[in-house]
Structure 1
Amino acid sequence: MRILVVGAGATGGYFGARLHEAGRDVTFLVRPRRAELLRERGLRISGLGQETVVTPNLVTAPDLAGHYDIVLLSVKATTLAQAIEDTAPAVGPRTAVVPFLNGMAHLDTLTKAYGSDVVLGGVVRVITTIGENGEILQLAPLADMTIGEPAGGVSDRVRRIEGVLSEAGFDFAVSPDIQTAMWHKWVFISTLGALNTLVRGSVGEAVDAGAEHLGPQIATEAAGIAEAAGHPMPAQALANVAAFVSRPGSTDTASLYRDLVAGQPTEAEQILGDLTARARAFGVSTPLLDVATASLRVHEQRVARGAV
């Protein structure tokens, strides 16, 4: 199967490189500037005492032609509309588009663009960032991918895709309830992002400042929304999130927060704005998430004015 990875950033680049190493037929759809860098230096993954360099197959949007079997869509929600436009030539009636975006709203957007027979649900977890020279820095061993049918169940096409994406250097799973898996990741990423935003620092810095209970309180709010939406988190799963955001010495931050401190646009609306809007619709009280959302909206207004 031909695989198109849309974006060779911290997440897409990591999983695409692992698939490439495993001998899969992988092409990266990238911007011209990123293509130039990758042609010059290769796609590099560093960290955890290892370094991997692959020579990727690259294509830019004007040169994209022919349908692919699998499109792994790993972009920020703020660039989703452009990604849909760019990938249109690659998507045919037998293509499976697997998005790895935060939140849930992108499923409706992609289904409207490509149809329900094309779009799958997906969740990836990996702690990576882009280094100063464009390399991918892996900050922790965690790396896994889960896919599934948005309507539930396990289809033949998902099983076929499993044969291509599994055993490729990261943990892979098929979920019969991918929307619940997506909701549970949303609880995690919104909790971490809101905590970082509220304290303007990492998990460990929040704990050092005496706010060790803040992360678990945010997690409880987010989990309450998931439960109201019909996707309750098991007690142990919620406890794991609470423990993650209250660890002394932890340097963990969400990409949402890293974009904030860099003065860049963030996924504020996709991660927190949409979540708190759903909370209001369900009648769930979320005071901490509301404050974090307002704080990020102030940042977005400043970015729009060029005042950051």
Structure 2
Amino acid sequence: MNILVHGAGALGAYFGGRLLESGQNVSFFVREKRAGQLKERGLKINSPEGRFEEKDLTIYTKPEEVESIDLIILAVKGYHLEQAISQIQTIVRQTGAFVLPLLNGIEHVETLQQAVGKVKVIGGFASIIATLTEDGYVEHTSASGTIKFGILHEEQKEICKQLEEIHSHAKMNLIREEIILKHMWKKYIFITAFSGITSAMQLPAGFINKSQASFKAAKNVIYEMSKLARLEGITLSDQEVDVMANRLKGFQEEATSSMHQDMRKGLFIEVEHLHGAALRIADKHDSSIPVTETLYGVLKPYEHGNPNW
């Protein structure tokens, strides 16, 4: 399969590297600065799943250069989606490729469908704990990275079958889900709560256990977001919701969310893509999500990095 990974941060570089390692024809679409770094130093993964390094990479920085692609794995942050849209449109128009977005949240699915058509956008998301070093190498610290995916349109069956077949050859999980939207919502629900509370506390996961008030706030976000999912037609049992809430206490003490990591580094955070989107969905249904709205208000000043006075 000819795969283009759009974005080579920790997530894109990790999964792109593992796909390269498995024998797939993988190229990368990145900004000029990252392209220079990859050309000079190559792609390197340090991971419990095994080290991987590759210096002979195919790299694009202009969408007009891209040819013969079957699948675009979109691995950018939510705040870079608007910039990526026109690039994705050009590449899909030139190649006919399908798009598998690995962004957090749910709102981006409709945005992409409007940009390239419903047929072309596959459902999916990623689960991984990884970061980039100053040298641009991937430090992967969790169990096996996972991509879950599934069809949102009947014409996606063949490309999803091909993607599923890669699983047995790769040092990562490629899991096909029949009801992918439900799984995407469950990820969205959980990450909105976990990223919101760790970032608002500006403390790692261990403090969710240490403070009953903090746990209750995060748990209430789970319940509010689950209500939105049901309003959007996603069936979630009370047990599934309770399992998500209890997961908040299952992390190692020093573990934290990617949003909190970005916040500590003074980088952009995905508060608009996660919490802001939840408020827009709530407004559509004339529904109230007060705890999520409060976290949004607390985190919004950090959206573009450390606030300037």
Question: What TM-score does the superposition give when structure 2 sets the normalisation length?
Answer: 0.88
Match of 2:80 in 1: 79
1:262 corresponding residue in structure 2? 265
1:194 alignment partner in structure 2: 196
**Residues 183 and 226, structure 1, Cα contact 8 Å, conserved in 2:** yes
- Aligned mates of 1:172, 1:29 — CA distance in 2: 21
Change beyond 3 A, Cα 1:32–1:104: same
Out of 48-57 and 178-187, give the one that drifted further. 48-57
Distance 1:197 1:224 in 2: 23
Distance 2:268 2:279 in 1: 19
Q: CA 1:301–1:155 in structure 2 vs 1: closer, same or farther (change >3 Å)?
A: closer
Q: Which residue of 1 aligns with 2:235?
A: 232
TM-aligned CA deviation for residue 17 of structure 1: 0.5
Query: What CA distance in whole angstroms lies between the structure 1 residues aligned with 2:240 and 2:126?
Result: 16
Query: Which residue of structure 2 aligns with residue 36 of structure 1?
Result: 36
What amino acid sits opposite 1:307 in the alignment?
A: N
Shift of 1:270: 1.0
Displacement of 1:97 = 0.9
Shift in Å, 1:151: 4.4
* Match among 128, 141, 153 for residue 143 of structure 2: 141
Query: How far does residue 278 in structure 1 lie from its aligned partner after superposition?
Result: 1.6
> How far, CA to CA, are the matches of 1:195 and 1:147 in structure 2?
27
Shift of 1:25: 0.4
For the residues of structure 2 that align with 1:246 and 1:26, how far apart are their CA atoms?
Answer: 38
Q: Is contact 2:128-2:144 (8 Å) kept?
A: yes
Instruction: Show the counterpart of 1:290.
Output: 293
Query: Does the 8 Å CA contact 1:207/1:248 hold for their aligned counterparts?
Result: no
Per-residue deviation at 1:88? 4.0
Question: Could you say which residue in structure 2 is the equivalent of 1:307?
Answer: 308
Aligned to 1:131: 133
CA contact (8 A) 1:130 1:136 kept: yes
Contact 1:190-1:272 at 8 Å conserved across structures: yes
Structure 1 residue matching 2:51: 3-state secondary structure: strand
How far apart, in 1, do the equivalents of 2:169 and 2:185 lie? 25
Structure 2 residue runs of 5 or longer lacking an equivalent are none
Aligned partner (choices 95, 101, 109) of residue 111 of structure 2: 109
- Please give the alpha-carbon distance, in whole angstroms, between the structure 2 residues aligned to 1:36 and 1:151: 37
- Mind listing any 5+ residue stretches in structure 1 that lack a counterpart? none
Equivalent runs, 1:137-286 vs 2, <5 Å: 137-151=139-153, 155-164=157-166, 167-210=169-212, 211-247=214-250, 249-286=252-289
Q: 1:22: how far off?
A: 0.5
* CA spacing shift, 1:36–1:201, aligned 2, 3 Å: same
Q: How much does 1:56 deviate?
A: 4.8
Cα deviation per residue 1:142-186 (whole Å; 9 max; x = unaligned)?
421121222479723322333346532212222222211111110
* Contact kept? 1:28, 1:56, Cα under 8 Å: no
Match for residue 119 of structure 1?
Answer: 121
Change (3 A) 1:281 1:57: same
Matches within 5 A, 1:17-28: 17-28=17-28
Aligned in 2, Cα 1:152/1:240: closer, same or farther, shift over 3 Å? Answer: farther
CA contact (8 A) 1:204 1:247 kept: no
Instruction: Determine the C-alpha separation between the residues in 1 that align with 2:154 and 2:178.
Output: 5
For residues 186-239 of structure 1, the C-alpha deviation after alignment (integer angstroms, 9 at most, x for no partner) is 011101111113322111023234434333332222222212222133445433
> Match for 1:228: what amino acid?
L
Aligned-residue identity in percent? 27
Name the CA shift for 1:12/1:223 in 2 (closer, same or farther; >3 Å). same
Alpha-carbon distance in structure 2 between the residues aligned to 1:109 and 1:27: 24
CA distance in 1, matches of 2:156, 2:35: 36
Deviation of the 1:10 alpha carbon: 0.9
Q: CA RMSD in A?
A: 2.5
Q: Report if the CA contact (8 A) 1:152-1:176 is conserved.
A: no
The CA distance in 2 between the partners of 1:86 and 1:154, in whole Å, is 21
CA distance in 1 between counterparts of 2:229 and 2:48 reads: 34
Q: Which amino acid aligns with 1:149?
A: I
